[in-house]
Amino acid sequence: MDPTPSKKGPRRRYDRVILHFCVENRQPSLKTQPLGIKQKGILATCNYVARRYGVKKLMPIAEARKLCPDLVLADGEDLSPFRDVSKRLYALLRSYSWNGRVERLGLDEMFLDVTDIVSYNVELLNRNALPQSYFCLSKTDPEMGFEYDASAFAGCVCGEDDAQSDEHVLRMRLLVASHLARYLRLKIEEEGYTCACGIATNKLLAKLVGDKNKPQNQTTLLALREHEVSLFMDEHSLRKIPGIGFRTTSILEAFVLNKPPDTDIFTTTCSTTVGQVRTHPSISPPTLERLLSGPGSEKSLGAKTWSLLHGVDDTDVKPARDVPTQISIEDTYKGLTTQAEIRHHLLLLTASLLRRMRIDLTEPESARWLARPKTLRLTTRPYFAFSPDSSDPIPPYNAHRASRSCPLPSFVFHPTLPQAEIAERLVAEVLLPLFYKLHPPPPPSTPLLPLSPPLPDPRTTTMQGSGFNIGLLNVCVANMAGGAAEGSSGGGGGGGGCGAGRDIGEMFRRQEGVLREFSVYDDGDGDGGGDVDLGKGDEQGPERAAQQGYLGETRSREGDGVMDLDDAQEEEEEEKGEEEGEWEHEDSVEEDAGGSRCPLCDRLIPRFAALAHERYHSLEDP
């Protein structure tokens, strides 16, 4: 058997034309000044002027100011203005799409699949009068379009433009697409924003070639043959390739250069190029699969990386969506320990979430709701103290995350209530009860156990009932119902009868009877004691907390009937576009927190309930 690894490149598609737009410059007066966007103590990003001074994104602000004392900082904590502009420009580009394939990437980048409109206009070309060509923007309205010179590319070209290749179909399609890109760029600039654009045959190449002449130009990748694409890809740093992150880069760099992997997870630089990895004699799809595979890794990661190294990206531009599948606001903290801190930060997150909902889910002119989320989810994670000098590994970002979900109250959509009042009610009546289900507070008479790692005394003694250790809060709305529910009453769940699916109320009514035989009931001493009632625990927890004065206000009916949802499963189902209202009910228990999956039903079972669950299966009807 031949020991030499297979070096055959992946198959490439030449049948598409993709545009990648990158928009910037909200405030033209700052264009010539070094500018950074700050979030907490770091720079989320910075402009090109700042980068000339050595400033980089993810750099601590103090270090950035040393490199550039004149650095102008803009607050990036509230991105609502950016989202509003992103939504308007997205709608602008979508209005010129025939197939609806317009995909947003973050706030400032968009992909357009213009294969159909470009192919249509290529067929209309008069080869004897290319300089007097006309681009049709509508099949039904011949007057809707613009004149252009089809004998030359618009903007910059990356690659050799052979004058004898005028009859090459792909070249003509890219040429026509370059003029459409120029027309759309000018439309964006009329809105007051600079824009760069890349034109190529897939999303990866379009994004990379668009970076060539940023921030206010466009570039067409004229690579009609396989080796021309390879030449273009080989010059790029590994970290510049979308889809190849820090972990993959460090592994490949260590393998190719035979050096220890980089441990700085915040680095954005890499001296290793795509060409060094692609042409390495030992690199092949099986080798990449062996190097990159591991627990939790993506399936077929080796084959995917092999394709990216060759500039092959068959992912489609996702069809345009009127509304997102979910909206979430998240922030991290250095250990929130008191009820006052929890309430304060929940209020900030909720206010930001409501602003996002107004921007993303309503029509700008009429403020009519395009969609109404039916589910509210709260996610928390404990705080992990970490010292740079410690040899202990950094816990995964999502370690020990826990979630609770409930129906979103209908008062959230009230047209006249002030958003501040809505946020106050949502926190007091819904989010705090959800929080206390995840983190039941100790009774005031019970002495607090010391936290690990220990927190400063002032923070652990600020008020009665303290003792939390929260490092992350996430508030999310999901399970979108269409705007047809505008006039529905919605009941207390904010969605009423919208959508088909399981009867959640019936599930809860049956839950007590089904689980009664396998429940361990509280002995009534009131201290929690580690005993768990699988049938009634959810109902008693918040009521006991309210009696002890932790909720501050009487809990409303909108908070009743809370059920657990596994974050990853719910988000995956929403991405697949399942029917509205169809929920999969699974306990929100993290496997790394001591749970395991049942081999019979594949449910995630807490360690303390394993024996009871096994008995449940043993008593099932044969």
pLDDT, tens digit, for every residue of 562-581?
333 344 444 444 444 433 33
pLDDT of res. 487: 39
- Token pair, residue 393, equals 């590994």
3-state SS assignment for residue 602? coil
pLDDT of res. 96: 96
* Interatomic CA distance for residues 25 and 193, integer angstroms: 5
- More confident call, 566 vs 436: 436
* pLDDT(499) > 80: no
- More confident call, 576 vs 250: 250
3-state SS assignment for residue 296? coil
Angle at the Cα of 419 from the Cα atoms of 414 and 425, rounded to 5 degrees: 80
H helices of 68-142, in order, are 80-94, 115-123
* pLDDT(337) > 70: yes
For residue 75, name the pLDDT band (cuts at 50, 70, 90).
Answer: confident
- Which of the 8 DSSP states describes residue 355? H
pLDDT of res. 21: 96
**Where would I find the beta strands (DSSP E) of 178-251?**
194-200, 218-221
pLDDT of res. 245: 82
Q: Kindly tell me the sign of the dihedral angle through the C-alpha atoms of 555, 558, 563, 567.
A: negative
* pLDDT(436) > 80: yes
Percent of the chain with pLDDT over 70: 69
* Interatomic CA distance for residues 11 and 32, integer angstroms: 44
What number is the average pLDDT over the span 284-307?
Answer: 85
pLDDT of res. 537: 37
pLDDT of res. 47: 82
H helices of 427-492, in order, are 432-438, 457-460
What number is the average pLDDT over the span 319-329?
Answer: 83
Mean pLDDT for the chain?
Answer: 76
* pLDDT(274) > 80: yes
pLDDT of res. 540: 39
pLDDT of res. 103: 93
What number is the average pLDDT over the span 443-458?
Answer: 47
Domains for the chain: give ranges and CATH numbers. 18-33+70-236 (3.30.70.270), 237-320 (1.10.150), 326-386+395-582 (3.30.1490.100), 589-622 (no CATH)
For residue 153, name the pLDDT band (cuts at 50, 70, 90).
Answer: very high
Alpha carbon separation from 463 to 338, 340, 341, 457 (Å, rounded): 7, 8, 10, 12
Model confidence over 589-622: pLDDT tens digits?
334 445 666 766 667 777 677 777 777 777 665 4
- More confident call, 44 vs 180: 180
Residue 186 identity: L
* Interatomic CA distance for residues 77 and 55, integer angstroms: 20
Model confidence over 199-249: pLDDT tens digits?
999 999 999 999 999 888 999 999 888 889 999 999 998 888 998 888 888
- Token pair, residue 124, equals 């209309």
* pLDDT(357) > 60: yes
* pLDDT(48) > 50: yes
